[in-house]
Amino acid sequence: MKNDPAARSRLEVFLTYAGVKALRAHRVAAFFHKIHLRLLARLIAERARRKTGIEIHPAAKIAAGVFIDHGAGVVIGETAEVETGVVIYQGVTLGGTGKERGKRHPTVRKNAVISCGAKVLGGFEVGEGAKIGAGAVVLHEVPPYATVVGIPARVVKITPSRSS
């Protein structure tokens, strides 16, 4: 409700928002992945992708309080980690470059915003409170409270944290 001024009720959000549905399904898939029922986890994730247009690997770590707004085309890879308060808009990819082994997807720290169509590719951190502009292609770490834009993404602004 806090992240979407168009939301009229909690019930409306729960029943109709694709991002909320995808995150609910992810929680179930992640449970089965954790107890080594990985095929079942992938089947649940695949069904959720077909119904919502949002693809989240069951092994991805997504905290409570993440909001996926207008989620069509969102992809979140296997080793991605997304902390609380993060807002993700449509068409975002939290992916790998295909070259790494191990941790190959980004870690997005709390309260970051990833705008429409942004591609965040690699096993690095997006700092707390960072903002990634629409269509940006992020290939390197993003400092906390930085705003990045462009292809490849570059820092255009760093805002001091609220606690400073």
Give tens-digit pLDDT for 62-78. 999 999 988 899 999 99
Q: Given pLDDT bands bounded at 50, 70 and 90, which one contains residue 15?
A: confident
Report the pLDDT averaged over residues 48-67.
Answer: 96
Contact 92, 116 (CB under 8 A): yes
Taking the domain 10-158, which CATH number applies?
Answer: 2.160.10.10
More confident residue, 13 or 42: 42
Mean pLDDT of the chain: 91
- What pLDDT digit, counting tens, does each position of 105-118 carry? 999 999 999 999 99
- What pLDDT digit, counting tens, does each position of 87-97 carry? 999 999 999 98
pLDDT at 153 over 70: yes
pLDDT at 99 over 60: yes
CA–centroid distance for 106 within its chain: 9
Strand order in the sheet with 61-62: 61-62, 81-82, 107-108, 125-126
Strand order in the sheet with 146-149: 67-68, 87-88, 113-114, 131-132, 146-149, 154-158
Ranking 3-17, 90-104, 124-138, 144-158 by mean pLDDT, the lowest is: 3-17
- Of 78, 81, 133, nearest in space to 100 by CA: 78
pLDDT at 162 over 80: no
